[in-house]
Structure 1
Amino acid sequence: MIKEWATVVSWENGEALLSCDVKASCNSCASRSGCGSRVLNKLGPQNTHTIAVSSAEPLVPGQKVELGIAESSLLGSALLVYMAPLAGLFIMAGLFQSLFASDLAAMSGALLGGVGGFLLARGWGEKLTRRNEWQPVIISVGLPPDALRVETSTPQDNR
Structure 2
Amino acid sequence: MIKEWATVVSWQSGEALLSCDVKASCSSCASRAGCGSRILNKLGPQTTHTLSVACDTPLVAGQKVELGLAEGSLIGSALLVYISPLAGLFLVSALFQALFGTNLAAICGAVLGGVGGFLIARACSLKLSRRESWQPVILSIALPPHAFRVETITSAEGQ
Measured against the shorter chain, the TM-score band is over 0.9
Instruction: Give the corresponding residue for 2:109.
Output: 109
TM-score normalised over the length of structure 2? 0.95
Query: Quick one: distance in 2 between partners of 1:150 and 1:36?
Result: 43
Alignment of 1:65-104 (within 5 A): 65-104=65-104
Gaps of 5+ in 2: none
Q: Which has the higher helix share?
A: 1
Question: Deviations along 1:49-71, whole A, 9 cap, x unmatched?
Answer: 11100001100000000000000
What letter is aligned with 1:81? V
For residue 28 of structure 1, report the CA deviation from its aligned partner: 2.2
State the secondary structure of the residue aligned to 2:19.
Answer: strand
Q: Which amino acid aligns with 1:104?
A: L
* Residue-pair matches, total: 157
Identity of aligned residues (%): 71
Deviations 1:7-58, CA, capped at 9 Å, x for gaps: 0000001000001011112122222111100100011000111110000110
**Paired position in structure 2 for 1:34:** 34
- TM-score (structure 1 length as normaliser): 0.95
Task: Provide the residue aligned with 1:135 in structure 2.
Answer: 135
Alignment map for 1:58-69 (pairs within 5 Å): 58-69=58-69
Q: Structure 1 unaligned runs (5+)?
A: none
Q: Deviations over 1:115-138 (max 9, x none)?
A: 000000000100100001000000
Question: Hey, what's the Cα distance between the residues in 2 that align with 1:9 and 1:147?
Answer: 17
State the distance in 1 between where 2:35 and 2:152 align: 46
* Cα distance in 2, alignment partners of residues 64 and 154 from structure 1: 31
Q: Is 1:24–2:29 an aligned residue pair?
A: no
CA deviation after TM superposition for structure 1 residue 151, in Å? 3.0
Structure 2 residue aligned with 1:55 = 55
Whether the 8 Å CA contact 1:69–1:136 is kept in 2: the answer is yes
Secondary structure of 1:18 counterpart: strand
